[in-house]
């Protein structure tokens, strides 16, 4: 049963708010796009005008370029667009990630975008928002997903790095350049050795620092003479696409690791030819997904990319009005190098 109060509909361009005449994270160019965060599957080029939380200003500008018409709104402050109130709340996913609350005549819908509840010093913590309809992702929406304590994960990365130093190998840590890379940098023990970055990571590090996020000192790999560096002591943070090509040749003997939620699945590491895998996700695990749905007190739950069928079936059994909302990206996250699935 879909309430007639619903403010959003799914269209071929994405989630559309008809009374407000704007889209949320559209995947085709539109006149007015409201954006949850700067990852490529949410912030697409080509729309005439964008509205996002002001905490995302630096990274969204890096991603969208100088020409994009970006407008920003402070978290927690409402703006009325064609009679519809729009408010951003922190989503805890990456720097500037926000949930969008859309409200009219006492009916509220929240689009969560991507979100997580585990601590992350590089972004504002997720805030549950009460609403009637909650639109959630389900990237890791299976009961098998249970994230370990992040500090335990960082301790493991530190140990791997020291072990590589002892055996003369360069530690190459793969992580998506926006969000995961900075979260790793802020969590590891930077006193172990020098930290180098791939250009894609360094560019976003600069955006994080300009936004006031403290990160340890990093050096862009392209800035140094490779022969002068004792790479065996170094940690190199790079996006997954960097290894395998000529880029990684300069480091000599290497150990490659990746930090991702997918590392919880046996076999993922082997398939990606990693020497080590660390379970660190910027999405909610099963328990936090269910906790969040409970916290919103919403009776209507729309579930998007990931294991939406499983989540919807489970929620229906629990008495929710749950439905799958198809998005353009489904089922390809495991092998793909798409940023949304880390
Ligand atoms: Zn996403
Ligand atoms: Zn994302």
Average pLDDT over residues 209-223: 98
Nearest listed ligand to the Cα of residue 27: 1
- Going from the Cα of 251 to the center of ligand 2, the distance in angstroms, rounded, reads 30
CA 303 distance to own-chain centroid = 17
Confidence at 265, pLDDT banded by 50, 70, 90: confident
Task: Give the three-class secondary structure for 104.
Answer: strand
- Going from the Cα of 193 to the center of ligand 2, the distance in angstroms, rounded, reads 30
Nearest listed ligand to the Cα of residue 91: 2
Q: Mind listing the pLDDT tens digit for each residue in 277-310?
A: 999 999 999 999 999 999 999 999 999 989 999 9
Task: Give the three-class secondary structure for 159.
Answer: helix
DSSP strand E in 198-275: where?
Answer: 219-220, 235-238, 254-259
Task: Give the integer Cα–Cα distance in Å for 58 and 186.
Answer: 18
Residue 88: CB atoms within 10 Å: 29
With a cut of 90, say whether residue 155 has pLDDT above it.
yes
Domains contained in the chain, CATH given: 9-145+283-324 (3.60.15.10), 150-278 (3.40.50.10890)
pTM summary value: 0.94
What DSSP letter does each residue of 275-289 carry, written as one string?
SEEE---SS--HHHH
Q: Give me the residues paired with residue 86 across strands.
A: 79, 102
* Residues whose CB is less than 8 angstroms from the CB of residue 124 and which lie 6 or more positions away in sequence, other chains included: 55, 75, 90, 92
- Going from the Cα of 72 to the center of ligand 1, the distance in angstroms, rounded, reads 20
Count of CA atoms in the C-beta half-sphere (13 A) of 80: 4
Nearest listed ligand to the Cα of residue 137: 1
Task: Give the integer Cα–Cα distance in Å for 155 and 40.
Answer: 30
Which pLDDT score is estimated for 334? 36
Which pLDDT score is estimated for 332? 38
- Going from the Cα of 314 to the center of ligand 1, the distance in angstroms, rounded, reads 22
**Residues within 5 A (CB) of ion ligand 1:** 41, 114, 340
**Residues within 5 A (CB) of ion ligand 2:** 39, 114, 340
Average pLDDT, the chain: 93
Q: Mind listing the pLDDT tens digit for each residue in 69-108?
A: 999 999 999 999 999 999 999 999 999 999 999 999 999 9
Task: Give the integer Cα–Cα distance in Å for 134 and 129.
Answer: 9
- Going from the Cα of 33 to the center of ligand 1, the distance in angstroms, rounded, reads 16
């Amino acid at each position: 049963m879909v309430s007639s109060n619903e403010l959003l509909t799914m269209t071929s361009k994405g989630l559309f708010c008809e009374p407000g005449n704007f889209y949320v994270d559209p995947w085709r160019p539109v006149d007015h796009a409201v954006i949850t965060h700067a990852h490529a599957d949410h912030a697409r080029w080509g729309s005439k005008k964008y509205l996002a939380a002001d905490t995302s200003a630096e990274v969204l500008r890096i991603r969208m370029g100088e020409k994009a018409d970006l407008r920003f709104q402070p978290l927690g402050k409402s703006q009325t667009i064609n009679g519809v109130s729009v408010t951003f709340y922190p989503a805890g996913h990456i720097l500037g990630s926000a949930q969008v609350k859309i409200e009219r005549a006492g009916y509220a819908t929240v689009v969560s975008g991507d979100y997580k509840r585990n601590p992350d010093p590089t972004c504002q913590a997720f805030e549950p928002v009460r609403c009637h309809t909650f639109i959630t992702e389900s990237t890791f929406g299976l009961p098998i997903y249970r994230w370990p304590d992040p500090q335990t994960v960082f301790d493991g990365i530190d140990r791997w790095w020291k072990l590589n130093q002892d055996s003369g190998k360069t530690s190459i840590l793969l992580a998506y350049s926006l969000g995961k890379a900075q979260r790793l940098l802020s969590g590891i023990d930077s006193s172990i050795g020098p930290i180098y970055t791939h250009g894609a990571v360094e560019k976003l590090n600069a955006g994080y620092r300009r936004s006031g996020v403290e990160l340890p000192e990093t050096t862009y790999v392209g800035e140094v003479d490779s022969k002068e560096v004792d790479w065996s002591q170094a940690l190199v943070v790079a996006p997954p696409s960097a290894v395998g090509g000529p880029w990684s040749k300069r480091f000599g003997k290497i150990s490659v690791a990746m930090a991702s939620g997918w590392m919880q699945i046996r076999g993922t590491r082997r398939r990606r030819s990693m020497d080590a895998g660390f379970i660190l996700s910027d999405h909610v695990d099963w328990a936090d997904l269910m906790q969040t749905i409970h916290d919103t007190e919403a009776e209507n739950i729309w579930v998007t990319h990931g294991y939406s069928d499983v989540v919807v079936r489970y929620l229906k059994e629990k008495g929710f009005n749950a439905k799958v909302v198809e998005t353009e990206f489904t089922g390809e996250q495991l092998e793909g190098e798409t940023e949304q699935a880390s």
